[in-house]
């Protein structure tokens, strides 16, 4: 599995630079029959470019280019649409809560957007989850209940399909506006989305996994875009058993990854951590494990002979006198 994943990442890495999808995420929390809160945000892959101020009912553009080529009037129309949507959504869910045996508190998540595929086609999607489990999705304008959602999901889908106008609007947003916006925002944010930032890498040892064993940790941080390749190597040979952490975001839109290897203490010397990233243009970062050993080695190889030489010289001088 990890192998396949990294192969995929490597493929992506050569094919695309930067994000390829836009999605709006809705998180609605229903605390009790009278209290609900909606959160909204807009993302290019995993980079957030928009927020939603639910008090004022307005979008927050987190980047100067987050609007793409959507005009201010269109932004105002969309904001109004979302205000109405959040209001009606909350009302409808609260209205149907007892019929659907939804027990407070519960949370509903929605994700909708569009994605640029290789070849230039753009595919739209919409999925909903209840309490963290898939609940429904939309395919070809049809609500498809998720198996995890059981009968509740099926009834809910049948109900939703009666809201013809809402479905028409959602379809327009997903199939017309989203692709247009995605292309324009990928263009307006190009300088930032397609930038190349070099990683920094450093080594440390983690908590010992057991007696006589070492946990070697290779940290790689501050790189952009996301695809990266980090391995522990012995010469040109990849070491098996590497654990990769999740890719974690830094605040400045760069990423962090850790690759750890559990080895017998005697086998650590000679291992190196190798990092490949598009920003490095083929100049891989290679860090060798074993600084304590090399300091010891320097001591033995340089300082001790120098001391011996000094002592010899001193003795020689003394004898000549």
Ligand X SMILES: *[C@@H]1O[C@H](CO)[C@@H](O)[C@H](O)[C@H]1NC(C)=O
Residues that bind ligand X (CB under 6 A): 31-32, 34-35, 69, 139-140, 180, 183-184, 187
Least distance between ligand X and beta carbon 104 (Å): 8
Give the HSE-up count for residue 164: Cα atoms under 13 Å, Cβ half-sphere. Answer: 0
Q: H or E segment at 77? A: helix 72-96
Which residue, 189 or 199, is less far from ligand X as judged by CB? 189
Which residue, 13 or 22, is less far from ligand X as judged by CB? 22
Which residue, 86 or 256, is less far from ligand X as judged by CB? 86
Least distance between ligand X and beta carbon 128 (Å): 16
Which residue, 34 or 162, is less far from ligand X as judged by CB? 34
Least distance between ligand X and beta carbon 14 (Å): 25
Least distance between ligand X and beta carbon 182 (Å): 8
Strand partners, 134: 129
Q: How far apart are CA 163 and CA 168, in angstroms?
A: 9
Which residue, 31 or 158, is less far from ligand X as judged by CB? 31
Q: Is 247 strand, coil or helix?
A: coil
Which residue, 14 or 34, is less far from ligand X as judged by CB? 34
Least distance between ligand X and beta carbon 73 (Å): 11
Short-list 261, 259, 228, CA closest to 244: 259
Report how many helices (DSSP H) and strands (DSSP E) the chain contains, helices first. Answer: 8, 17
* CA distances from residue 163 to 72, 78, 138, 155, 167 in whole angstroms, order as listed: 29, 19, 14, 14, 6
Which residue, 33 or 243, is less far from ligand X as judged by CB? 33
Least distance between ligand X and beta carbon 184 (Å): 3
Please report where in the chains the tokens 């959040």 appear, as a residue.
Answer: 86
Which residue, 72 or 139, is less far from ligand X as judged by CB? 139
Task: Provide the token pair at 102.
Answer: 């939804």
Q: How far apart are CA 244 and CA 228, in angstroms?
A: 11
Least distance between ligand X and beta carbon 149 (Å): 16
Q: How far apart are CA 298 and CA 295, in angstroms?
A: 5
Distance, first Cα to last Cα, the chain: 76
Contacts 24+ apart (CB under 8 A), 200-204: 201/273, 201/275, 201/285, 201/287, 202/287, 203/273, 203/287, 203/289
Least distance between ligand X and beta carbon 139 (Å): 4
């Amino acid at each position: 599995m990890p192998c396949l994943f990294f192969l995929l990442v490597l493929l992506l890495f050569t094919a695309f630079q930067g994000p390829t999808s836009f999605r709006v995420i809705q998180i609605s929390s229903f605390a009790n029959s009278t209290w609900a809160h909606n959160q909204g945000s807009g993302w290019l892959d995993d980079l957030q470019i928009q927020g939603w101020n639910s008090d004022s009912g307005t979008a927050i553009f987190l980047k100067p280019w987050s609007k793409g080529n959507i005009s201010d009037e269109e932004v105002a129309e969309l904001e109004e649409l979302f205000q109405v949507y959040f209001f009606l959504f909350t009302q409808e869910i609260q209205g149907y809560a007892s019929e659907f045996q939804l027990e407070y508190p519960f949370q509903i998540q929605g994700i909708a957007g569009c994605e640029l595929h290789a070849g230039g086609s753009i595919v739209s999607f919409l999925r909903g989850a209840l309490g963290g489990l898939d609940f429904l999705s939309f395919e070809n304008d049809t609500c498809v209940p998720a198996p995890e959602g059981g009968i509740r999901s099926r009834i809910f889908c049948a109900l939703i399909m009666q809201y013809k106008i809402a479905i028409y609007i959602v379809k327009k947003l997903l199939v017309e506006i989203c692709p247009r916006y995605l292309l324009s925002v990928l263009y307006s944010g190009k300088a930032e989305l397609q930038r190349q930032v070099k990683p920094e890498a450093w080594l440390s040892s983690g908590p010992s996994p057991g007696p006589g064993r070492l946990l070697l940790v290779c940290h790689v941080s501050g790189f952009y875009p996301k695809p990266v390749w980090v391995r522990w190597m012995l010469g040109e040979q990849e070491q098996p058993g590497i654990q990769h952490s999740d890719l974690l975001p830094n605040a400045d839109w760069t990423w962090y990854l850790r690759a750890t290897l559990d080895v017998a203490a005697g086998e650590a010397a000679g291992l190196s951590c190798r990092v490949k990233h598009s920003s490095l243009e083929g100049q891989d970062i290679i860090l060798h494990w074993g600084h304590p050993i090399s300091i010891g080695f320097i001591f033995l190889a340089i300082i001790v002979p120098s001391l011996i030489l000094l002592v010899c010289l001193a003795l020689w001088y003394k004898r000549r006198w």
